[in-house]
Structure 1
Amino acid sequence: MHAAITQADRTLGCLLGGAVGDALGYQVEFSHWDRIKESWGPEGVTELRRNRISDDTQMTLFTVEGLLLAQPGASSETFVEQVRLAYLRWLVTQEEPMPPMASEGLAAQPWLYDRRAPGRACMTGLQEGARPGVNPNSKGCGTVMRSAPFGLYFGPVEAFAFAERCSALTHGHPTAGASAGAFAMIVAHLMLGATPQRAVSETMMHLRDGIDRSETADALQRAYKLAGNVPPGPNTCVPLGEGWVAEEALAIAVYCLLGTDDVRKGLTAAVSHSGDSDSTGAILGNLYGAAYGAAALPREWASQVEGREVIAALAGLMAADA
């Protein structure tokens, strides 16, 4: 059934799905499950009352822009440098009220200058120049939520390597890099038509090759086990953590991906908990879109999410360039 999905549709699905999951979860970020249940009901976050995306989608789009500016065939150092420069342009959007004169590309988009709760490590790492080695003890999920584009642009092994390297521009902890790399690798496998189970299994085997990757591998193992025993639903991800750190955010999204191919149900489960709801929703949305294409996304959410036209345009460029 999924073999007929085009690469262009998977690419659009991945980027648009991430924005949808992000917006869905951003409505309740920092809210405890009891508060969510009181405001939204026991079924969790089942509607998009506000269409705003967060820093997760903002940084994902700048990742896309960096990869596109590097051009096919560029050296690995060029790719990393272009992504670094792209993140520094995103930093300007968080520090200035509007685009500076002569701004180009995403930096010229006024709607991206709204500050949407950016992660502290992302901000401090970039303010220090986005050089490897910053924030050596930080493994926040800010590296994972921005890394899907590596899986759209590169094959699985390269996607892992580039996401891991670019993670270190803001988060120096090895688990942050391993989790970003694992996420990008899963996306890359899905883009090649692998089933979610195969994509996750192949990535788990890759993680076992490095001792510094054990936290991520263990988190995915827990997600795999939970998916086989507890169907995803509101607040069922509790055994996996709250998603504030990299391996937990990835595990929650993978649990929902493996637990159901019902995109609406999975996204609702991924954001209806006490943790980092926008990041877990964004990561799962990226995965669902890469697995099943843009047509699988709930139409009423995908049609109204903030920045849809820009996202679609970048997806088109990415699909043509990859």
Structure 2
Amino acid sequence: MTRRDEETWRARIRGCLLGGAIGDALGGPVEFEDGRSIVAKHPDGVRTFVDGGAGWPPGTITDDTQMTLFTVEGLIRAGVRTDRGLGVTVAVVQHAYDRWLDTQTLPGPSGERDGWLHREQWLYARRAPGNTCLTALTEARQGEAKIPRFGAQAVNDSKGCGGVMRVAPFGLMPQVFPTDWIFDSAADAAGYTHGHPTGKLASGTLAAIIHALCAGATLDEAITRATSLLVQHEGHEETSTALSFARQLAATAQPGPVTVERLGGGWIAEEALAIAVYAALACPEPEQFLDALALAVTHSGDSDSTGAICGNILGALHGETALPAELVFTVEGRPVILQLADDFALEYSRRQRLHGDYGPFTEWTTRYPGW
């Protein structure tokens, strides 16, 4: 890619990850509130970070952003693994989720893991993690302290939004990766915890939307391209129907919580994706970024996930400069989010300068081991 293309791509990476964190932090404190109660307190929608109670100060991210960051780290380490003559191995991302599980079950770093992200003490806060994610990863450990073998899909029938809310980083992969690979890989990564086809396909669709946006597509074009991939998969109907309805409402209905709730609560994968897509379509301009996030989180449902996904989409579309500055500077974990964003871009654009002639023996590959 040209230097200008690379600069645009890096801005989209930073915008996607930081935008998702902002949407997550906006929605987290109101996740379990009734929509009418939220509107009574926030007539214009939730537009500022609010207190979520004890141990949950304004700007705090949830498990949605935690798991997204581990997805990024997993993809960086999957890139390092290609030094072995292999392609990008998606199962490396499950290893990252195994490290995330430590942050939810241990008081702090155990010293038995490699890499650096798991050593960030602030990630060891439990912020309403999804039961399906916790259970599926625990079961994958088979009674051991770590998952013994990576790559197996979860054996359950869950289509909760815990898969789709964390897979946006797959869409940020360079355009040399075909979009059908992006779709299938994100679906597989969601399948490590969510076994229902809809949970996987909604995840693949989100990643495909973001990949198209990073290629310069408009939001409408990106949704159309992703949907064309989606409908090729058996069991696509729930997700494709939800997306179609979201597009219809964005074109015909007055934006607001009542319209959002016609799409559901966002607790399940296709609803979370549809709400986020609807909010992005209803407020698609860069100067409407906060309007879209407020629309995505002000409803009776899984507000942090719908906010995170909407932020991922619009951040990838507009880049980091469109993010609301008053939220950027106070969101929890910004230094780590941006470090991972930049390291992701470095791995997939400057790897020859990082890996060098010594492969796994360099400082970079100590920081990001290839497994």
Aligned match for 1:14, one of 6, 13, 16? 16
CA deviations on 1:142-182 (whole Å, 9 max, x unpaired) are: 00000000001144221101011111111110000100000
Aligned equivalent of 1:174: 197
Aligned match for 1:275, one of 282, 301, 316? 301
CA deviations on 1:78-108 (whole Å, 9 max, x unpaired) are: 6222101000000000001111125431110
Aligned residue type for 1:69: R
In 1, Cα distance between the equivalents of 2:6 and 2:172?
17
Contact 1:243 1:275 in 2 (8 A): yes
Tell me the CA shift for residue 77 of structure 1.
7.6
Normalised TM-score (structure 2): 0.82
Normalised TM-score (structure 1): 0.95
Between the aligned residues of both structures, percent identity stands at 47
Q: Structure 1 residues 5-14 or 304-313, which shifts more?
A: 5-14
In 1, Cα distance between the equivalents of 2:317 and 2:7?
9
Aligned equivalent of 2:96: 86
Contact 2:198 2:239 in 1 (8 A): yes
CA deviations on 1:58-83 (whole Å, 9 max, x unpaired) are: 00000000110111683888622210
TM-aligned CA distance change 1:72 to 1:232, over 3 Å = farther
Tell me the CA shift for residue 219 of structure 1.
0.8
Contact 1:176 1:246 in 2 (8 A): yes
Tell me the CA shift for residue 317 of structure 1.
1.1
In 1, Cα distance between the equivalents of 2:153 and 2:241?
24
Tell me the CA shift for residue 195 of structure 1.
0.4
Aligned residue type for 1:121: T
Q: How many residues align?
A: 320
Aligned match for 2:33, one of 10, 31, 34? 31
Which consecutive unaligned segments of at least 5 residues does structure 1 have? none
Mapped pair 1:112 → 2:123:
yes
In 2, Cα distance between the equivalents of 1:86 and 1:157?
23
In 2, Cα distance between the equivalents of 1:216 and 1:72?
33
Aligned match for 1:187, one of 210, 214, 236? 210
Aligned residue type for 1:144: V
Aligned equivalent of 1:71: 79
Tell me the secondary structure at the aligned position of residue 137 of structure 1.
coil
Larger radius of gyration: 2
Aligned equivalent of 2:135: 124
In 2, Cα distance between the equivalents of 1:232 and 1:15?
25
Aligned-pair Cα RMSD in Å = 1.9
Aligned equivalent of 2:44: 43
Contact 1:233 1:265 in 2 (8 A): no
CA deviations on 1:210-247 (whole Å, 9 max, x unpaired) are: 23111111111111111101243334211110000000
Tell me the CA shift for residue 134 of structure 1.
2.4
CA deviations on 1:259-303 (whole Å, 9 max, x unpaired) are: 112111100000000000000000000001000000101001011
Q: Structure 1 residues 251-260 or 102-111, which shifts more?
A: 102-111
Which consecutive unaligned segments of at least 5 residues does structure 2 have? 51-57, 141-149, 349-371
In 2, Cα distance between the equivalents of 1:73 and 1:87?
17
In 1, Cα distance between the equivalents of 2:311 and 2:121?
25
Aligned residue type for 2:168: A
Aligned match for 2:244, one of 195, 202, 221? 221
In 1, Cα distance between the equivalents of 2:294 and 2:321?
18
Tell me the secondary structure at the aligned position of residue 90 of structure 2.
helix
